[in-house]
A and B are shown apart, each in its own frame.
Chain A
Amino acid sequence: MDSTILQMQDITKTFPGVKALSNVNLSVARGEIHAICGENGAGKSTLMKVLSGVYPHGTYEGKIVYEGEEMKFSSIKDSERHGVVIIHQELALVPHLSVAENIFLGNEQERAGFIEWNHTNAEAAKLMARVGLDEQPVTQVGQLGVGKQQLIEIAKALSKDVKLLILDEPTAALNDDDSAHLLGLLRELRTQGMTCIIISHKLGEIEDIADTTTIIRDGQTVETLDMSDPASDQDRIIRGMVGRDLSQRYPEREPEIGDVVFEVKDWTVRHPTQTDRVIVDNASLEVRAGEIVGIAGLMGAGRTELAMSVFGHSYGRGIRGEVFMDGKKVDTSNVGKAIKAGIAYVSEDRKVYGLNLIEDIRINTTAAGLGKVSTNGFVNGNEEIRIAESYRQSMNIKSPTVMATTGNLSGGNQQKVVLGKWLHTAPELLILDEPTRGIDVGAKFEIYQIINQLADAGKAVLVISSELPELLGICDRIYTLAYGRMTGQLPRSEATQEKLMELMTIEKEAV
């Protein structure tokens, strides 16, 4: 057998008006984990869609040689028949069906049109054991967490006799534990001879797991790195991705910290439907003017729940505790009151909670502070455009005008629109929940700069992030949250990933 399983030669793909890929070459060796890196919009996903037949043969130029033969995939089904399976970033599972039903969805174990349930469940159990998923085959998928759902996707791929597995951002929504498990699984599959292509923004992960890394920039292959070479480190990859040296991933800042602006005391929140579950337990915290404070915690620790419950009781039930702004107790029992009190919450998932994607930048910018551009209930459209335009320029939002639909913007630009929307409400405290998730390196730096400018302007900033390096890079002080409890706080000078991790994993009994 040939040692090269896949060669994509001179792949060019054009959309009306845009050349998404231009003469891209990719060569993947048998049995390796091959990472593909690039900024958002560089063409990684497009390349994988060409490979998996989402864009069928004939809609692109170039040649795909797989297992020594030229392939002309006409559809996903076609590529899957040859053992090329892609797992998309957005999981394609049906929540109300069982694990086994999902694994064999579209590939039902049938005889004469009737499903053989025993066979289905038994086969599913075998596949689940292979991916290390400790659940019953009949469990509904919707009851499982994202990490386990990701494993089901892989089991589904294995059921199709996959030889080349493509994973698009597999760990983007996973916590560290689940990510580690997934990466371990990929290593194990490698020893069984499977070839993997993995697209990821998490460079640490790539450094960890990949044998080879191909970097794509602006629709072109930049280089292919052998990861066993010690010179192929994260900085090297970043340099290739952005085409310049990012000597610093976090901008410098001299903090000038003032009085306490925002304070939460003895905050307790219960689960909205299972009211016996305490999600946030007696948490207290404070943020000073000009200070950037981080909240670190594992997934499920109650970070987002804490923020959302403070912000207009948008999450949870049976909420107890007090919120103070500038030393005065404030009522934040609905979003309107919270905004009036000077709090802004930039949500975790901008597409679901942050933006109206079918509307333009202008309308999204003023959505939370519409009162400021209206008199007697009438909106001043011209004033609105002026304000949106000023944010568009000051934040370097890349779009022709403020009339551009936000659904068409890249992740980084969308995030800037959301930031603009909340700055327009003139808050004293900004809560930023995963402010750089799914954003490429260059745009991340810009977002950090905006955060720094806000702090320099005397605002209090509270940042929630799953990425510890990010918290360490931008925060002056970091709280840790574990199982709904505040387990500690560290100033920047003392904080390290190890110390934070230790505080983040303190179990309930130990507190």
Chain B
Amino acid sequence: MSVASELKDLFTKNLRTSGIYIAFVLIIALFTVLTDGLLLSPINVTNIVLQYSYVLILALGMIMVIVAGHIDLSVGSLVAFTGAVSAVLVIGNGLPWWVGLLAAVGVGILSGVWHGFWVAIVGIPAFIVTLAGMLLFRGLTYLTLSNVSLSPFPSEYQQVAGGFLNGLLGGYGYDLFTLVIGVFAVAGFAWSQIRSRSGRAKYGQQVEGLALLIAKIAVVGAVVMWFFWQLATSRGMPIVLIILGGLIITYHVVTTRTVFGRHVYAIGGNLSAARLSGVNVKKVNFWIFINMGLLAGIAGAVFSSRSNGAQPGAGNMFELDAIAACFIGGASTTGGVGRVTGAIVGGLVMAVMSNGMQLMGVDQSTQQIVKGLVLLLAVAFDIYNKRRAGAAR
């Protein structure tokens, strides 16, 4: 098979999952034109990473929640609450910066345990539990902050979301360290592709052609290196990107390669069948919510660091951004379907759209309208695809 026909096959067979990538490229192209290239300028690429990292972190937890057939409406309030706890400890009581970070993550985990208890053990639908959580943790935020904003954090704390690792290997008008990370990322991708291909070959399965493999690595490599070049010529490697990258890889592996991940998909796909296959449904659901709490805590730390303080109204509507990212990224509303990569690209679609519109000076109200319509269209496309697949049967 030629590379072209193999590629065509790859896209048409996975239209549902590849559709989002195509849409992503189109949206980038559109806004690049509309902003006269400003969208892809080094400083703006860095900005997008800094500005939307916490929504992507939330989307990582949310995709597992949604695949298991649940929803979590509380994460926006949790971001506010964990940030508030951290601010009270660090700003209010003068404790070291890292105590604040640990406290945010710890409180996040505890909140996850709270949700997990009600969803998994008591058996109340997650929609209700987390709706209650959304009110509850917002109230706790007000209480913790006595309804006033706290700032500023010490400079170490601000580094989490606003800091850069650069100059480690010297700078020459571009930051070498950033480029080295980029090279490692590409090499890691190539290695994992080659390894998986040879693994498949060893088991006598059909594998993609060598030419396609090289083309794939070359394209991904070019895009990734371009991205890191933009970072390197701007302000260097954002610390938050290292955190985010680590989390994305971890959760991608957890969802695609581990027994736990498989159980999440099994529960969402057919709960009864999963239970009768020996899946400990309660335990898995419990961990899904603990994990969501953990990530909400991390997002809370990052967000409070970026905004350099804690506000009673922080994180408002974040849950909806995270949920929208998952659905735009191809997750099914009925559970059992969805990918980490999809959720990330879905989040990036939203990020690029918001950022592009901000650059164009589009007002907030129009932005909201456009985002709403995109979410609707994405799910409509998904349903259209499913119907087409059903009719072909």
Contact = CB atoms under 8 A, between A and B. Distances in A.
Contact of A367 (B277, B332, B392, B393): B277
A17 B388 CA distance: 13
A232 interface: no
Nearest to A336: B278
A234 B278 CA distance: 41
A345 B200 CA distance: 32
B278 A368 contact: yes
Contact of A15 (B202, B257, B275, B392): B392
Interface in A356-379: 356-359, 363, 367-368, 370-371, 374, 377-379
A1 interface: no
A345 B276 contact: yes
A164 B393 CA distance: 29
Interface stretch (B42-50, B129-137, B155-163, B265-273): B265-273
B244 interface: no
Contact of B258 (A15, A314, A339, A378): A378
Contact of A382 (B199, B262, B263, B279): B199
Nearest to B269: A356
Contact of A377 (B200, B258, B275): B258
Contacts of A442: none
B259 A356 contact: no
Contact of B202 (A374, A379, A382): A382
Contacts of B202: 382
Interface string B197-220: 001101101000000000000000
Interface string B245-270: 00000000000011110110110011
Contacts of A374: 258-259
A335 B276 contact: yes
A368 B259 CA distance: 11
Contacts of A17: 392
B391 interface: yes
Q: Range of interface residues on chain A?
A: 35 or more
B337 interface: yes
Is the contact region of chain A dominated by helix, strand, or loop, or is it mixed?
mixed
Contacts of B258: 374, 377-379
Contact of B266 (A312, A339, A352, A356): A356
Nearest to A386: B203
Contact of B269 (A312, A357, A421): A357
Contacts of A347: 276
Q: Range of interface residues on chain B?
A: 20 to 34
A166 B383 CA distance: 31
Contact of A336 (B199, B266, B280): B280
A377 B336 CA distance: 20
A483 to B, nearest CB: 26
A356 B273 contact: yes
B274 interface: yes
B153 to A, nearest CB: 37
A357 B269 CA distance: 7
Contacts of A408: 393
A377 B332 CA distance: 26
A386 B203 CA distance: 7
B272 A353 contact: yes
Interface in A365-410: 367-368, 370-371, 374, 377-379, 381-383, 385-386, 408
Interface in B347-393: 391-393
Interface in A247-273: none
A406 to B, nearest CB: 10
Given A356-B336, A382-B200, A382-B202, A363 B262 contact: yes
Nearest to A407: B393
A128 interface: no
Contacts of B203: 382-383, 385-386
B216 to A, nearest CB: 19
Given A335-B275, A338-B278, 12 more contacts: A15-B392, A15-B393, A335-B276, A352-B273, A354-B276, A356-B269, A356-B273, A367-B279, A370-B262, A374-B259, A379-B257, A386-B203
24 contacts: A17-B392, A311-B276, A335-B275, A335-B279, A336-B278, A352-B270, A352-B272, A352-B273, A353-B272, A356-B269, A356-B270, A356-B274, A357-B269, A358-B337, A363-B265, A367-B273, A367-B274, A370-B259, A370-B263, A371-B259, A379-B259, A382-B205, A385-B205, A421-B277
* 5 shortest interchain CB distances as A-B pairs: A356-B269, A368-B277, A382-B203, A335-B278, A356-B270
